[in-house]
Amino acid sequence: MAGDTRDRMIDATVEALRRRGVAGMSFTEVLRDSGAARGAIYHHFPGGKGQLVAEAASRNGRDVRANLAALPADDPLALVESFLALIRPVVECSATGSGCAVAAVTIASGEPAENASLREVAATAFASWTDALAARLRVSGLAPDAATDLATTLLALLEGAQVLCRAEGSVAPFDRMTRTALDLTRTRYAAR
Amino acid sequence: MAGDTRDRMIDATVEALRRRGVAGMSFTEVLRDSGAARGAIYHHFPGGKGQLVAEAASRNGRDVRANLAALPADDPLALVESFLALIRPVVECSATGSGCAVAAVTIASGEPAENASLREVAATAFASWTDALAARLRVSGLAPDAATDLATTLLALLEGAQVLCRAEGSVAPFDRMTRTALDLTRTRYAAR
DNA sequence: GTCTATACAAAGATAGAC
DNA sequence: GTCTATCTTTGTATAGAC
């Protein structure tokens, strides 16, 4: 098939970004994991590493966004609870070294032009996640401003938890954080 | 002087870690910024890149911990407010590409042995930050468990905000997150 | 202890046969 | 479109003069 190789290369790149970041990742690794040949890189991605990484981060951004948009929105508290339940498996991966691909793309290492382009991709992905979460929070009854603020907070918690859990090699930081988050949200948004 | 060169090299490494991460950072950069000669690296750091990076992350960990331990602890709400005020300038640096040096050390790229060692350094630093924050929260009146949970949450917010603000190139995500954090903390811990 | 010069490996990028 | 082979650059690591 045609686009199959290209697809597998992007998938392998997402995984490589998660584990090693853009500077730490290598074509050797991507080619090994995708089974593609060396020349396939510049055939499918004339822009080289920058283009491959950008497409990988972009795909990951869309995938995650779809998950967030499908969250139940009965009320704010339920949404926070289901958000935390949704991301726990993701954070568990961080405990074994697999972080956020979009966050990884944030770290600059090359020339300003390429960096700006990659940061733009990351910013777009994060914005789409914030928007998806905020939309659900509005549906659940929150005012627009409060929804955006809380959505950003939840996203910061997700990204932060991945960092802490990767360092500690366990989900314990996430679970501690979850207790506080639920405690605070219940106090504030309980439909009592 | 004797330890001066070594010190400047560590400082330059902290800065390099913040901007480019461990895989993206190079000796060339560190030598340029510290004014040291090429041979100085293995003279002062026989363990090579691994040792230099570990010492840099470790120093940064101690510095940040000292700042956290000095936070006023009149009551939980005041502590959260002063924590957010303390970290805002740090997060502002993220908007121009300078992230958390300890978080950077978390990303594996080389052989398992070196990776484990660096993750250990990061875990120790994060644990010391959590402990410092939790200690202040206990002084401010929180129960031990609640203090540890909230400390972890604040740390996750700090790390997450740096990621989001670096991607977006502005402090706006931090400010949104701050509004929610203050709103929730006031509702929960207001000394009314 | 500080510096210059260099060895060695790995990465990204290309060329061109099939 | 896919593959092999290779060029060029960069980075880590080391040797040895001063």
Residues B147-170: tens digit of each pLDDT: 999 999 999 999 999 999 999 999
Comparing CB atoms, the residue among A164, A185, A188 nearest residue B159 is: A164
Residues 105-134 (B) with a CB less than 8 A from some CB of A: 106-109, 115, 119, 122-123, 125-127
Residue-averaged pLDDT of chain B? 96
A3: pLDDT strictly greater than 70: no
Q: Does residue A153 sit within a domain?
A: yes
Cα B60–Cα B62–Cα B68 angle in degrees, nearest 5: 105
Tell me the pTM.
Answer: 0.97
CA–C1' span, A42 to C15, in Å? Answer: 12
* A164 has a chain B CB within 8 A of its CB: yes
Separation of A184 CA and D11 C1' (Å): 49
Q: Which domain holds residue B120?
A: 57-189
Closest by alpha carbon to B80, among B183, B170, B161, B159? Answer: B183
The per-residue pLDDT for B190 is: 86
Structural domain contains residue A62: yes
Residue A43 lies in a domain: no
The pLDDT value given to residue B192: 53
Phi-psi region of B154 (alpha: psi -120 to 50; beta: other; left: phi over 0): alpha
A73 to chain B nearest CA, in Å?
19
Number of domain units in chain A: 1
- Does residue B34 lie in a domain region? no
* B100 domain residue, yes or no: yes
Dihedral angle of Cα A56, A62, A64, A67, to the nearest 10 degrees: -150
In a domain, A8, yes or no: no
Nucleotides of C under 7 A from a protein CB: 1-6, 10-16
Q: Is the pLDDT of residue A2 over 90?
A: no
- Three-class DSSP category at B189: helix
Q: Is the pLDDT of residue A191 over 70?
A: no
Tell me, in Å, how far CA of B28 is from C1' of D14?
16
> What pLDDT is attached to residue A172?
98
Q: Which residue of A has its CA nearest to B124?
A: A168
For residue range A79-136, list pLDDT tens digits in order: 999 999 999 999 999 999 999 999 999 998 878 888 899 999 999 999 999 999 999 9
Statement: residue A28 has pLDDT above 60? yes
| Cβ atoms of residues A6 and A44 within 8 Å | yes
In A, which residues are within 8 Å of B166 by CB distance? 106-107, 119
- In tens, the pLDDT along B106-135 reads 998 877 788 899 999 999 999 999 999 999
Q: How far is CA B172 from CA B94, B164, B169, in A?
A: 11, 9, 9
Is residue A166 included in any domain, yes or no? yes
Distance (Å, whole) CA A104 – CA B49: 21
- Give the whole-number percent of chain B exceeding pLDDT 70: 97
Position A103 in a domain? yes
Best B25, B53, B88, B106 member to test A by mutation, with max A CBs in 10 Å, is B106
For B73-83, the pLDDT digits (tens) are: 999 999 999 99
pLDDT digits (tens, 9 = 90+) for A36-87: 999 999 999 999 999 999 999 999 999 999 999 999 999 999 999 999 999 9
Say how far apart CA A86 and CA A89 lie, in whole Å: 7
Task: Indicate if CB(B46) is under 7 A from strand C.
Answer: no
